[in-house]
Amino acid sequence: MAYPYVSDHEVRIISEHFGDPKQRRLETYVERGGYQALRKAFDMGPEAVVEAVKASGLRGRGGAGFPTGVKWSFMPKNSGKPHYLICNADESEPGTFKDRELMRWDPHQLIEGCLIGAWAIGSRHAYIYCRGEFFETNQVLARAVEDAYIKGYVGKDILGSGNDIDVTVHQGAGAYICGEETGLMNSLEGKRGLPRVKPPFPAAVGAFGMPSTINNVETLAVVPHIVAHGGEWYRQYGTEKSPGTKLFCVSGHVNKPGNYELPLGFPLMKLIDEVCGGMRRGNALKAVIPGGSSVPIIDAEESARCRLDYEGCVEVGTMLGCASVIVMDETADVVRQVRRMVDFYAHESCGQCTPCREGSAWTAQILRRIEDGRGTEEDLDTLMQMTQQMVGTTICVLSDSVAAPVQSSIQKFRDDYLALIRRGERVGAA
Amino acid sequence: MSEPITLTIDGREVSVPRGTTILEAAKTIGVVVPHYCYHPGMSSPAMCRLCLVEVEGAPKPMPGCVTTVAEGQVVRTQSDDALNHRKGVLEFYLVNHPLDCAICDRSGECDLQDYVHAEGRGHGRGREPKRVFGRDDFGGDVLFYGDRCVMCTRCVRFMSEVEQDHRLTVVERGSRSVIDTFYEEGLEGTYWHGNIVDICPVGALVSKDFLHKARAWDLTHTPSICTSCSQGCNIELHTRDNLVQRIKPRENLDVNGWWICDYGRHNYEWMNHQERLEAPIARRGGGSKAVGWKDALSALLDKAGSLGGASVKAVASPFSPNEDLGALRALVDGLGGGDIVFRSARAEDEVPLKGFPALARRSDLAPNTSGAELFGMRRVGNDDATGGLESVASHDGILVVLGDRLADQPEDFGAGAALYVYLGMHDSAAAAHADYVLPVTTHAEGEGTFTNHEGRVQRFWPALQAPGMARPAWLVVGALVAERSGGAVSRAASEAFASLGPSAPAFGGITYDDIGARGAVINESVSLTGD
């Protein structure tokens, strides 16, 4: 099978059926053992499910890497209020394209994960907030949920267990900031997608003012497998602190870009050279952004040392994020790449917090001026200082995401900036 | 009440109730943490990021407006970290701010100016062209200068949370965010929108009425009470060149919070009226002559003395302060007693401010109806303050008119009176037969108190100089009373107020000091400091 590219290094748990259109059909999913984990979860009871996920060490796949079982255990017991499970399917981080594939190839895997998650936290209603631009994905999901309702896998008295859990697919309207969990909740409620001040945290006051838990698509997609096989089984992959497998979205100057499910702790260079078939045209590696555009960029030397797990990335001064590996070869124009990322963030800033609203647009203006050959060396100092003013001073972390690529690129690729400033020479061509 | 929380702010120990925010706790020791989006009368979105303070143990700077105090917390509002954060945020504000202070109405009372001068960078690092939104007419009294906006959304929240009429919103996002109206009519037809100009921390929302009229630093601010209805909203009169230039609300949580209605806000031109009575006028045998106060009052007393036993009728006004009405009551009683009536306008409906239930524009459109009633005065006439004076107009005894302009009355008003004294601010056709026309001051020119609809006595202070020889009515009438009774003359409004007890026991025991700036409710025990 040739879902765009596959590799022998892969451990395909959640991506097993990528590229197989039959998997979308409920009948096929059930034939292949689907919804058995849900039945098992109902038998185990909510606490045992939370314990199993805790035992697996599964960490949130949306970027922050917070232990999922621990997050679930934050939900109040006997609050007397409705609880909500929300699946964050607003995948918008530049460089990321894993949730889309999980939803369009294997929607029932996600639905089953949502049902188990909802069951674990005492929720009778799960929302899947799907990115607005994912038209096909939204249709696939909506169809799958409809089928599951008809066959009794969702809705009243699921599988004759007496448990009622509804699932609603909510199509977003196309804003990056609605992928921030509290911005998502506002959007879900029909308000402007503005991130909320925390505390209160979603487990206390979430969607519609009720205790809520929000998990990434990939996180919930793994849950049925963990419930089916047990937490220890999941720990056979990955590292002690970062157990399990992870989908890596590799893009950029490699021969075989794509989604690869690999055990955490996989070396970055091995990913590029062996899994992805090496650099495009055999060019030299210049830089890698390992976790989506909001994490610091690393150079070739750091890439050589980088292990792809939560801790390994921090060791080389970056973050695993959502494991969206953007690879740049020697022809890449780093200044232009950074400017484009900052343009994106400036466009997507919700505009609440001053440092982000004004700072992101200002950063983009300065970078554009430098790119046009009208920059000065003081601009670099200004950029370093003013982006520092954007770190940790806002409601959400979008502002920090502007600072990360700017600061890391000025530190590591200062010569590229200086070439533009001093001689108007653009380094690279892409 | 639960135990207070004790924390340390800038090295000083503070005890405040549980649930208090750091920003409010700091206020109690006189530390004002700069802020834009926070307003005590509305929700806190914590988005301006200016009130970031350093809290020991917190990984990030915390917004003081939403972070509640905790036992033993150590807060630093002036540490290097806190100052650096504010300096940074202020720099971001200036990236696109036009800095058109020279032509901005807000200049001199602008929070951006103040904060940048106090803590901002000396020089801007911005070299890029600034964002331009231009100007927009929001309808009503409000003009919007988009370029000056700091996007604090106080105006949006005022309309949605306080007035509860969703007329404003933020459109677009990021640095393209701008405040806009939903409909073509904008703020037109809302009753409280003037407040968004007051709460705008910069010159983004300005009043059309005040536009380019005066510079903030040329204005004198005098605490006063709104006279447009019986709510008794606390206001400030802003004056220049002996003219009221605008009215601004004055905070009083018991009465009007931070707000006033648009009707009251714009009802000030009458205080600047130029055609005023400026000297006492005595009319004898068809002639009329300006005379000095001493001559006028002694002649008036002689005439009154010669009419011993004549019945007395008086017309008062609910726009007169308690001191004036009390003096009138004492005069009428001293002359043998008689009926005092007043007329006042009533609106059909109240106009409530939904988000601040204590406040409404009351249907009683006079500031001191309660006071007049406490002095046993009786309301007559129609709801537009006309009519009802038939028996007074033809009275043949002593007739005293104080404060009512008698605009609807015929020229022969009081023609048959044995003695007709007209005390007013303006001459009136119906004063043609008055033996004495005496000029008195408006509330804006004197000191005194009004009693509002709930019986709250509140003080106002003189903001304007009285024209010519006009004097407060309590002084004029009080002099007549003192002369007749041989008692002491009140030389100050506070003395006049202190002497009200006998005619209206409700006022007994309250002094100007008790009333202070917040007012005192009559028949309620006055809590004194330290009790």
CB atoms within 10 A of CB B12: 11
Write the DSSP symbol of residue A220: H
Q: Which residue has the higher pLDDT, A16 or A3?
A: A16
B186 located within any domain:
yes
Can you give the CATH number for the domain in which A83 is found? 3.40.50.11540
- CB spacing of A357 vs B151 below 8 angstroms: yes
If you average pLDDT over every residue of chain A, what do you get?
95
Question: Quick one: angle between helices A414-423 and A354-371, nearest 10?
Answer: 60
Residue B509 pLDDT = 81
By the 10 Å C-beta count (0-12 exposed, 13-18 middle, 19+ buried), B334 is classed as middle
Whether the CB-CB separation of B252 and B236 falls below 8 Å is answered with no
Q: Is it the case that residue A12 has pLDDT exceeding 70?
A: yes
Q: Is it the case that residue A70 has pLDDT exceeding 90?
A: yes
Please choose, from the candidates A374, A364, A382, A355, the residue with its C-alpha nearest in 3D space to the C-alpha of residue B123. Answer: A382
- CB spacing of A386 vs B151 below 8 angstroms: no
Residue B308 pLDDT = 81
Q: What mean pLDDT is predicted for residues A337-364?
A: 96
Reported as a pLDDT band with limits 50, 70 and 90, residue B185 is confident
Cβ-Cβ contacts under 8 Å, B66 against chain A:
197
Q: What mean pLDDT is predicted for residues B94-121?
A: 95
Distance from CA of B156 to the nearest CA of A (A): 13
Instruction: Please indicate, yes or no, whether residues A288 and A370 belong to a single structural domain of this protein.
Output: no
Beta-carbon-side half-sphere exposure of residue A313 (alpha carbons within 13 Å): 28
Distance from CA of B222 to the nearest CA of A (A): 35
Instruction: Please indicate, yes or no, whether residues B392 and B265 belong to a single structural domain of this protein.
Output: no
Q: What mean pLDDT is predicted for residues A359-366?
A: 97
Residue range of the domain that includes A279? 245-329
Cβ-Cβ contacts under 8 Å, B61 against chain A:
392-393
Q: What is the DSSP string of A375-404?
A: --HHHHHHHHHHHHTTSS-SSSSHHHHHHH
A270 located within any domain:
yes
- Hey, what are B32's tokens? 């004002």
Q: Is it the case that residue A274 has pLDDT exceeding 70?
A: yes
Q: Which residue has the tokens 């804006």?
A: B444
Instruction: Please indicate, yes or no, whether residues A74 and A168 belong to a single structural domain of this protein.
Output: yes
C-alpha dihedral sign at B295, B298, B301, B302:
negative
Instruction: Please indicate, yes or no, whether residues B481 and B504 belong to a single structural domain of this protein.
Output: yes
Residue B530 pLDDT = 38
Write the DSSP symbol of residue A200: S
SS (H, E, C) B159-203: HHHHCCCCCEEEECCHHHCEEEECCCCCCCCCCCCHHHHHHCCCC
SS (H, E, C) B86-106: HHHHHHHHHHHCCCCHHHCCC
Please choose, from the candidates B120, B143, B125, B121, the residue with its C-alpha nearest in 3D space to the C-alpha of residue B133. Answer: B143
Instruction: Please indicate, yes or no, whether residues B292 and B235 belong to a single structural domain of this protein.
Output: no
Pick A386's closest partner by Cβ from B49, B66, B91. B91
Q: Domain total for chain A?
A: 3
- Domain finish residue from B272, B299, B329: B272
Q: A244: phi > 0 → left, psi -120 to 50 → alpha, else beta; which?
A: left
Radius of gyration over alpha carbons of chain B, in Å? 27
For residues B480 and B333, give the distance between their C-alpha atoms in angstroms, rounded to a whole number. 12
Reported as a pLDDT band with limits 50, 70 and 90, residue A25 is very high
Residue B203 pLDDT = 97
For residues B21 and A282, give the distance between their C-alpha atoms in angstroms, rounded to a whole number. 60
Reported as a pLDDT band with limits 50, 70 and 90, residue A79 is confident
Reported as a pLDDT band with limits 50, 70 and 90, residue A117 is very high
B364 located within any domain:
yes
Q: B530: phi > 0 → left, psi -120 to 50 → alpha, else beta; which?
A: left
Q: What mean pLDDT is predicted for residues B234-258?
A: 97
Reported as a pLDDT band with limits 50, 70 and 90, residue B524 is low
Cβ-Cβ contacts under 8 Å, B63 against chain A:
197
- CB spacing of B47 vs A352 below 8 angstroms: yes
Pick B95's closest partner by Cβ from A348, A349, A362. A362
Give the A:B interface size as CB pairs under 8 Å: 97
Burial per residue of B138-175, b for 16 or more beta-carbon CB atoms within 10 angstroms, e otherwise = bbbbbbbbbbbbbbbbbbbbbbbbbbebebbebeebbb
Instruction: Please indicate, yes or no, whether residues B46 and B145 belong to a single structural domain of this protein.
Output: no
The per-residue pLDDT for range A132-178, each reduced to its tens digit, is: 999 999 999 999 999 999 999 999 999 999 999 999 999 999 899 99
Residue range of the domain that includes B368? 281-521
The per-residue pLDDT for range B341-379, each reduced to its tens digit, is: 999 999 999 999 999 999 999 999 999 999 999 999 999
The per-residue pLDDT for range B113-153, each reduced to its tens digit, is: 999 999 998 888 989 999 999 999 999 999 999 999 999 99
Q: Which residue has the tokens 């203006």?
A: A365
Residue B531 pLDDT = 36
B485 located within any domain:
yes
Question: Which residues are CB-neighbours of B138 under 8 A, at least 6 positions away?
Answer: B144, B168, B181, B186, B187, B193, B205
Reported as a pLDDT band with limits 50, 70 and 90, residue B523 is low
Residue A98, amino acid? K
Instruction: Please indicate, yes or no, whether residues B370 and B491 belong to a single structural domain of this protein.
Output: yes
Q: Is it the case that residue B528 has pLDDT exceeding 70?
A: no
Q: What mean pLDDT is predicted for residues B382-392?
A: 94
For residues A325 and A308, give the distance between their C-alpha atoms in angstroms, rounded to a whole number. 10
Instruction: Please indicate, yes or no, whether residues B246 and B205 belong to a single structural domain of this protein.
Output: yes
Whether the CB-CB separation of A96 and A322 falls below 8 Å is answered with yes
Q: Domain total for chain B?
A: 3
Residue A396, amino acid? C
Q: Is it the case that residue B424 has pLDDT exceeding 70?
A: yes
Instruction: Please indicate, yes or no, whether residues A203 and A63 belong to a single structural domain of this protein.
Output: yes
Instruction: Please indicate, yes or no, whether residues A346 and A318 belong to a single structural domain of this protein.
Output: no
Instruction: Please indicate, yes or no, whether residues A121 and A195 belong to a single structural domain of this protein.
Output: yes
B388 located within any domain:
yes
Question: Which residues are CB-neighbours of B495 under 8 A, at least 6 positions away?
Answer: none
Can you give the CATH number for the domain in which A253 is found? 3.10.20.600
Mutate to test the interface with B, among A358, A363, A378, A386 (most CBs of B within 10 A): A358
Please choose, from the candidates B145, B266, B119, B139, the residue with its C-alpha nearest in 3D space to the C-alpha of residue B202. Answer: B145
Distance from CA of B161 to the nearest CA of A (A): 15
Instruction: Please indicate, yes or no, whether residues B185 and B248 belong to a single structural domain of this protein.
Output: yes
Instruction: Please indicate, yes or no, whether residues B407 and B506 belong to a single structural domain of this protein.
Output: yes
Cβ-Cβ contacts under 8 Å, A357 against chain B:
92, 151, 174-175, 177
CB atoms within 10 A of CB B222: 18
- Domain finish residue from A235, A258, A288: A235
Q: What mean pLDDT is predicted for residues B253-259?
A: 96
By the 10 Å C-beta count (0-12 exposed, 13-18 middle, 19+ buried), A128 is classed as buried
Instruction: Please indicate, yes or no, whether residues B137 and B239 belong to a single structural domain of this protein.
Output: yes
Q: Is it the case that residue B460 has pLDDT exceeding 80?
A: yes
Please choose, from the candidates A387, A408, A409, the residue with its C-alpha nearest in 3D space to the C-alpha of residue A398. Answer: A387
For residues B468 and A272, give the distance between their C-alpha atoms in angstroms, rounded to a whole number. 93
- CB spacing of A354 vs B66 below 8 angstroms: no
Q: Is it the case that residue A123 has pLDDT exceeding 90?
A: yes
Instruction: Please indicate, yes or no, whether residues A341 and A324 belong to a single structural domain of this protein.
Output: no
- Domain finish residue from B53, B78, B103: B78
Residue A270 pLDDT = 97
Reported as a pLDDT band with limits 50, 70 and 90, residue B286 is confident
Q: Is it the case that residue B1 has pLDDT exceeding 80?
A: no
Q: What mean pLDDT is predicted for residues B491-514?
A: 90
Q: Is it the case that residue A251 has pLDDT exceeding 50?
A: yes
Instruction: Please indicate, yes or no, whether residues B67 and B142 belong to a single structural domain of this protein.
Output: no
Interface of B with A (CB under 8 A): 44-50, 52, 59-61, 63, 66, 84-85, 88-89, 91-93, 95-96, 125-128, 131, 150-151, 170, 172-177
A1 located within any domain:
no
Cβ-Cβ contacts under 8 Å, B128 against chain A:
362, 365-366, 369
Angle at A302 (CA atoms; ends A297, A304), nearest 5 degrees: 125
Residue B287 pLDDT = 83
For residues B137 and B115, give the distance between their C-alpha atoms in angstroms, rounded to a whole number. 28
Beta-carbon-side half-sphere exposure of residue A7 (alpha carbons within 13 Å): 24
Residue of A nearest to B81 (CA): A389
Whether the CB-CB separation of A428 and A330 falls below 8 Å is answered with yes
- Domain finish residue from B272, B291, B307: B272
Q: B189: phi > 0 → left, psi -120 to 50 → alpha, else beta; which?
A: left
Q: Are strands B520-521 and B436-439 parallel, antiparallel or unpaired?
A: unpaired
Instruction: Please indicate, yes or no, whether residues B411 and B305 belong to a single structural domain of this protein.
Output: yes
Q: Which residue has the higher pLDDT, A1 or B13?
A: B13
Interface of A with B (CB under 8 A): 175, 177, 192, 194, 197, 346-355, 357-362, 365-366, 369, 382, 386, 388-389, 392-395
